Each structure stands twice: as C-alpha cells, then as structure tokens.
Amino acid sequence: MAQAEQAGFRIVAREDYSDVTYMLEVAHPLMAKAARPGQFVIVMEHEHGERIPLTIADFSRERGTITLVIQAVGKTTREMQANCKAGTTLYALVGPMGIPSHIGKAKKVVCVGGGLGVAPVYPQARAYKESGAYVIGVIGFRNRDLMFWEDKFAAVCDELIICTDDGSAGIKGLVTEGIKQALAKHSDIDEVVAIGPPIMMKGCAETTRPHGVKTIVSLNPVMVDGTGMCGGCRVKIGEQVKFACVDGPDFDGHQVDFDDLMKRLVRYKRAEHDALERWQESCRIRADTVIDLKAAVLGNEAEIPIDIQPSTDG
C-alpha cells in the first residue's frame, strides 16, 4: 500500500461535470503505479476533516496521477467542492485499498454505470478491453446535462448504450433497459459488472438473475477505518457477513442483501444532516465576516491590520 509520504497531495486538475459532480486529478506517482481497477482511497481534505472513501476512477502511470470523481452529497464532499482547486493539496490520501476487481477470462462483458457509478466502472471496462474481451458499455444518467465520460467509454467499448431517465440522450429508461437490450442481442454474455446507487445495482442483479449471468457489484457501505477493524462496512452476502473494505468492495450481486445495505446507509442521516448544517452555518458566518471586514476596510483602511483574513479551515 502506498502511504502518504509528504505533507499534502497536489491536485493537478479539476473539472466540474455538473453542479454536484466534480473530478480531481491528484499527483501521487506511487499510488498511480500500485492502483488496480476496483480499488479505492481514503481521503482527508484537511487536518480536521472526515476520512471518506473514494474510488480510484482512473489512474495514469505516465502522468503519476489518480483521478477521483466526486458527488457533493454532504458536509465533506461539499467542503471539498468548495476548497479543492488545481494547485491546492489534499491533506491525506491512503490506498490503494480493497481487493482489485477480478478481470478474468470473460470473452463478452457488460459494464454498467449509473450516475456517478459511471466513473468507477470505467477502469474495469478498460481492463476488460485490454484483456481482449468484447465490451458492451451501458451508462445511465437522469438527463443529457448530467452526462460525462461517454467519450472515454466509447474509446474502450465495442458497443455503448446510453440511457437517460427522460430520453434526452440515448434510449429512454434506466440502465436495466440497456442490460435487457444487450442480453436480447447477445446470448453469450459471460459477465455483467454494475456500479451505482444500491437500488440500481439491485435492479441490475434482478435483471440478470433469470438469465443466470454472473453479476458483480461494487458496494459502498459507510466506512470508517477501511482496514477491517471497526465493522462499520459490514454487508450480508448470502449467509455470510463480510467487510466491504477488506473483502470487497466487489461482490456477487446475486448474493448481496441490498435491503440490509440500504437500511444501514441511512442510519446516520441525522448526524450527517447536523454536520452539514453546522458547516453551512460556519460558511455563512465567514462570508459575513469578509463582508464586515471589507466594509470596515473601505470605511477606514488605516485602522484594519492587513493580516486579518477569515480562516478557510472547516
């Protein structure tokens, strides 16, 4: 595992795909060298920040970088959206974690990404293509404006099916419609890999179950330490209890107890909501402070010490 070896990890590029989805490319040559499809990192944006798991959505050994695609859903991911720019650093980055996806000898594979799940399934689609498999990509978004990486998928897929909920691009419908289309056209699909919200992965597993096609999903339970010690990421796989951070995050979708996973994911809703409110309130106070200081400076420049700046810490 490549460990943090310097004070911070430089963000070399950022791109925003929508109001809530953004990409960070982070310099870390060791991590880029060690990373395999399906693995994730644990990130702390600043010294007092929360540790959050994020999938390595891409890596370039040539550039010595890893790519993270993040959806701003709560306190930490919104704080990162506000603070992380090209040229800034992440305080800590640990990984690559988790068992790499098994890129076996499958000859025909369907790689399915729903919404943000499009990013983490990309390295698997690329790896299957490199292994010589025929790759069918199925990527789904709510609408055309939220689409990203369709060009990256087109470059590694033999066929690409785009699905949008409202029909503004590709076929109208959920990714399960795309899977059905692929299954109807190809009777020799060896494997389906599906990544996205739990309800989507559950739908994909139920779509393939009657066809008996092996279906791998990547689970995203709440993780704390990421080392198998805390038990936070416990998931039920058939009759067994597994820890997604060390036993996964990939599992057999036909064995996963998705209802249990979804119940566990909303357990901390109250605390997450409170943390977001506290952060938003502190942002508002800082913004007011800046306005007050500016007004004071404009009113009497000589009396205001020039080093008074509102803190940018969370």
CB 66 within 8 A of CB 32: yes
Q: Which is nearer to ligand FES, 72 or 230 (CB)?
A: 230
Q: Which is nearer to ligand FES, 22 or 243 (CB)?
A: 243
Task: Indicate the helix (H) or strand (E) that contains 279.
Answer: helix 269-299
228 binds, among ligand FES, ligand FAD, none (CB under 5 to 8 A by kind): ligand FES
Instruction: For residue 4, give the DSSP letter.
Output: P
The C-alpha torsion from 206 through 212 and 114 to 274, rounded to 10°, is: 50
Q: Which is nearer to ligand FES, 191 or 247 (CB)?
A: 247
In the complex, minimum distance from the CB of residue 166 to ligand FAD, in angstroms, rounded to a whole number? 23
225 binds, among ligand FES, ligand FAD, none (CB under 5 to 8 A by kind): ligand FES
74 binds, among ligand FES, ligand FAD, none (CB under 5 to 8 A by kind): ligand FAD
In the complex, minimum distance from the CB of residue 307 to ligand FAD, in angstroms, rounded to a whole number? 31
In the complex, minimum distance from the CB of residue 90 to ligand FES, in angstroms, rounded to a whole number? 19
C-alpha–C-alpha distance, residues 37 and 227, integer Å: 19
In the beta sheet, which residues pair with residue 43?
52, 93
Decide: residue 298, CB within 10 A, 0-12 exposed, 13-18 middle, 19+ buried. exposed
- Going by C-alpha positions, the residue among 95, 56, 48, 114 that lies closest to residue 76 is 48
Q: Could you tell me the maximum CA-CA distance found in the chain, to the nearest angstrom?
A: 78
- Going by C-alpha positions, the residue among 63, 68, 62, 99 that lies closest to residue 81 is 68
Q: Which is nearer to ligand FAD, 213 or 261 (CB)?
A: 261
Q: Which is nearer to ligand FES, 63 or 236 (CB)?
A: 236
C-alpha–C-alpha distance, residues 158 and 174, integer Å: 21
In the complex, minimum distance from the CB of residue 98 to ligand FAD, in angstroms, rounded to a whole number? 6
In the complex, minimum distance from the CB of residue 280 to ligand FAD, in angstroms, rounded to a whole number? 12
Instruction: For residue 226, give the DSSP letter.
Output: S
Give the interface with ligand FAD as residue ranges (CB under 6 A): 40, 50, 52-55, 57, 69-71, 73-77, 116, 120, 220-223, 249, 265, 272, 276
Q: Which is nearer to ligand FAD, 157 or 233 (CB)?
A: 233
94 binds, among ligand FES, ligand FAD, none (CB under 5 to 8 A by kind): none
99 binds, among ligand FAD, ligand FES, none (CB under 5 to 8 A by kind): none
- Going by C-alpha positions, the residue among 27, 72, 29, 28 that lies closest to residue 52 is 72
Give the interface with ligand FES as residue ranges (CB under 6 A): 223-226, 228-233, 243, 245
